Amino acid sequence: MAAFNLEKSVFIATSAFIDFMIDFSRTFVYYNNGYIHKHDLKYVPFLFVIGVLGTYIGKRILKHIPQEKFRTISLVLILLIGLVTIVQQILR
């Protein structure tokens, strides 16, 4: 998404939606494979509230970061994730 030079709020919203859909579908896979049990489902509402609260706080913080600085931070973090992944593969 960084390659398309999206506006920061669009970038974050798109990323959050993709993450939510992946996590939502993964929940069913984990439950069906026995990694999540019925007694664990009581935590789902709390996790949902925490996710919404985190999104709200992130949105407030995002207002104070200029678009160009956000783009730079995003690209640096993507580079760091790539480098860590390469190092982990080399050290295996």
Would you kindly state where each structural domain of the chain is located, as residue ranges?
A: 2-91
Category of 5 on φ-ψ map: left (φ > 0), alpha (ψ -120 to 50) or beta: left
Q: Is the pLDDT of residue 69 over 80?
A: yes
Query: What is the reported pLDDT for 81?
Result: 96
As a whole number, mean pLDDT of residues 60-87 equals 92
Q: Give the per-residue pLDDT at 13.
A: 85
pLDDT 10s digits, 32-58: 999 988 898 899 889 889 988 988 898
pLDDT of residue 2: 62
pTM of the model: 0.66
Question: Which residues contact residue 16 at a Cβ distance below 8 angstroms, ignoring those fewer than 6 apart?
Answer: 55
Q: Tell me the C-alpha distance between 36 and 41, whole Å.
A: 8
